[in-house]
Amino acid sequence: MLKRSAIKRIIVASLALVIMFLFYLFPRTDELSIPEEVIYVDEIFLPIYAAQKNGYVARSSVIKNDKNEDDIKYLIDMLTIDSQKSLLLPNNFTAVIPPDTKVIDYTIEDKILKINFTKEFLNVREYNEEKMIEALTYSLVELDGVKGIMIYVENSLLDHYPNSGKRLPKILDRNLGINKSYDIYDIKDTKMTTTYYIGKDNDNYYYIPISKITNEKIEPLEIIVNELKTTPIYETNLISYLNASYELKSYQILENSISLSFDNEIIAGLSDKDINEQIVYTLSLSIRDTYDIDKVDISIN
């Protein structure tokens, strides 16, 4: 009798396990869990400029999961050293604003963003002060409705770098330049062109802008193309995939757009779709920053 009772209990337990296993394999459709990759339905990619391990201020992007979160404060928090959001920066990117810096308030008027920081903002190290101003400026002018920024510290306009004392423009925009390089023989008749190169860290790509100040007499657009096609490796970790045997057939500069036409040598030997897109992206960013325009049209043949 005991033996039969034990066998019965074993059979019941086994059936229960089988039923549980079937439920595991074939769950009810109304109880399916949401796949991990679509949990954040409101995620937004924001461009950001931050210090990179090779000493440049570089452009990457970060994810903002809450579309209702303030973009301005989000980017500033991410650029602030030791803040919780600074941990979300891409690998090998670092924050540049001194720890404990807070935004007292900000206003936007006529597309100019006025930001009022606490006094901790002035605690930046001298070697980092230009990177801080460049990263802050270039990150914030990427936002819709922001053409320039004015920095205040405890209600006083910041018109010079905190350590070196070098003068700053009242309104900071892309005319400030970034990762500046000088190739001049005269302080008169200079022009600045900003060229974006590709940086790579393992399998991750990012973009490094170099603002070059020269006395060259040619159109900035031609300087940009010449810089990008000079050599595949312009400098350590500065990469350009633009084919050196290109021919820029023509270009037209209008009030708020530029169109340029290449022959098909621009992509000779490059079948990788991602690389082709990066060529277009570096050209477009370079032209946008140099000419402060909204539209770039690139055609091949």
Question: Rounded mean pLDDT of the chain?
Answer: 82
- Among 222, 135, 211, which residue's Cα sits nearest to residue 172? 135
Residue with tokens 């900003």: 194
* Contact by Cβ (8 Å): 158, 168: yes
Q: Mean pLDDT, to the nearest integer, of 283-290?
A: 92
Res 235: pLDDT: 55
Q: How far apart are CA 243 and CA 212, in angstroms?
A: 21
Is pTM beyond 0.85? Reply is: no
pLDDT in tens, 7-47: 444 444 454 444 444 444 444 434 333 334 343 445 689 99
* Contact by Cβ (8 Å): 193, 178: no
pLDDT in tens, 198-220: 888 777 789 999 999 999 888 99
Res 264: pLDDT: 64
Confidence of residue 227 (pLDDT cuts 50, 70, 90): confident
* Contact by Cβ (8 Å): 44, 74: no
Higher-pLDDT residue of 281 and 21 is 281
pLDDT in tens, 163-208: 999 999 999 999 999 999 998 888 788 999 999 998 887 777 899 9
Work out the end-to-end distance of the chain between its first and last CA atoms, rounded to an integer number of angstroms.
91
